[in-house]
Amino acid sequence: MTTLKNKPHILFLFSDTGGGHRSAAEAIIEAFDLEFPQQFTYEMVDFFSDYSPPPLNLAGPTYPAMSRMDYLWGRAFETSDDADRMRVIYAMLWPYIRLYIYKLHREHPADVIVSVHPLINTPFLRAKKKKHDRTPYVTVVTDLVSTHTAWFNNLADLIIVPTEQARRNAIATSIDPEKLQVIGLPVADRFVQPSATRAELREKLGWPQDKVIVLLVGGGEGMGPLGEVSMKINQARLDVALVVITGRNKHLKEKLENHTWDIPTFIYGFVNDMPDFMRAADVLVSKAGPGTISEALIAELPIILYHRISGQEEGNVYYVIDEGAGIWAPEIDDIVLALKDWLDHPEQRLQAVANAKRLARPEASRQIARAIAAQIKR
């Protein structure tokens, strides 16, 4: 296919089941614009909302509630994480979804197709094969370690994975090793390029220069025990300053703003300058999302993880711990103790900083863009 003004056209398949898939696609598009300015055109298609029958088209809106059902979600992940079972599942679904998949294939011709979601790969590749379409298909895996079998299909031309552990998982599902590249997780360029020094950022934000800054985040919705954790740290009178990002959780923001604090505390709602916040902080307290972990590693920020989604994020916890870049603290008291230990033994925190720097893959988005560009048949 040759598109507008002979520019190769890239189709990104994603779905808003969690924020990571959309942000990964956007990071890759940004990297294309940086590496190959004005040389490509792009479009992003949410296949669940736009090309799936009911009730599959509700996957995006219902995902947050479903993923919070921790035990059931974990069991569903583990039970379906098997190549034979997934073949049966897709065989059962195919008669119901095939017309939608064919329509997606027909309405969005491209010079290369990039998937950043596990569940579209097998159906779309099946449709592509039946239509004898030889358009290159690239899968960019956006789970760090616990990669579900659905990510992997040998009909893909290239599968980009973020870690060596993910590569081993792919090979275990009989993926041709020649189709695999370990590059990293795509993140926005603003996380890679510091806008200022740590001291300058703290001055701009009004944070103290002489305190260990603890950054507490709970994602865009302000999920997790942010309020309880911040108050426990306050009660412990740790020699730190707190920065709490409540996201869209307006009730939590108001509650914390009305609280009387004994230590320097800064409360924010939804923020767009998270890269600056990470660069200005000393410790991140977060759930184990792959994007947040990758961004923190690039910022050389040691991590205390307090929550993970069963199944898909469990490997992230082991990755951070085993590589010495952070601590698993699932209980509120564990978080306070972990912070106290790093304050009492600053050399341990600094070692975690060094390990985070070692694990970081700041060039991943640009390398992914170059790998995809290489697939396009001009």
Convert the pLDDT of each residue in 259-274 to its tens digit.
999 999 999 998 889 9
Residue type for position 335: I
Residues with Cβ within 8 Å of 27's Cβ and at least 6 positions away in sequence, in order, are: 186, 187, 188, 189, 365
Question: Quick check: pTM over 0.85?
Answer: yes
**pLDDT value for 376:** 85
Is residue 74 within 8 Å of residue 124, measured between CB atoms? Answer: no
Longest dimension (CA), the chain: 67
Residue type for position 76: A
CA distances from 364 to 117, 186, 280, 301, 354 (A): 18, 6, 22, 18, 19
Q: Which residues does the chain have with pLDDT short of 50?
A: 2-3, 222, 378
**Domains, in order of start, for the chain:** 4-186+363-373 (3.40.50.2000), 193-359 (3.40.50.2000)
96 CB neighbour count, 10 Å cutoff: 11
Give CB contacts under 8 A, 24+ apart, made by 266-275.
Answer: 266/205, 266/206, 266/207, 266/241, 266/242, 268/243, 268/244, 269/245, 270/220, 270/245, 271/245, 274/191, 274/217, 274/245, 275/188, 275/190, 275/191, 275/194, 275/195, 275/299
Give the single-character DSSP code of 55.
T
Tell me the three state secondary structure of residue 7.
coil
Torsion angle, alpha carbons of 137, 142, 147, 151, to 10: -20
**pLDDT value for 1:** 54
Calculate the CA 152 to chain-centre distance: 18
Instruction: Give residue for tokens 């039946």.
Output: 130
Give the single-character DSSP code of 286.
E
Q: How far apart are CA 248 and CA 320, in angstroms?
A: 27
CA distances from 213 to 119, 166, 235, 282, 284 (A): 39, 32, 16, 5, 9
Q: How far apart are CA 345 and CA 311, in angstroms?
A: 33
Give CB contacts under 8 A, 24+ apart, made by 93-97.
Answer: 93/123, 94/123, 94/126, 96/53, 97/52, 97/53, 97/56, 97/123
Is residue 105 within 8 Å of residue 1, measured between CB atoms? Answer: no
Instruction: Give residue for tokens 């564990």.
Output: 334
**pLDDT value for 3:** 47
Is residue 325 within 8 Å of residue 316, measured between CB atoms? Answer: no
Q: How many CA atoms lie within 13 A of 152 on its CB side?
A: 25
**pLDDT value for 311:** 83
**pLDDT value for 222:** 46
**pLDDT value for 224:** 64
**pLDDT value for 219:** 62
Q: How far apart are CA 21 and CA 68, in angstroms?
A: 18
Task: Give the strand pairing for 283-287 and 265-268.
Answer: unpaired
Q: What is the pLDDT of residues 4-61, one digit of tens each?
A: 558 999 999 999 887 689 999 999 999 999 999 999 999 999 999 999 988 887 777 7
Q: How far apart are CA 250 and CA 256, in angstroms?
A: 10
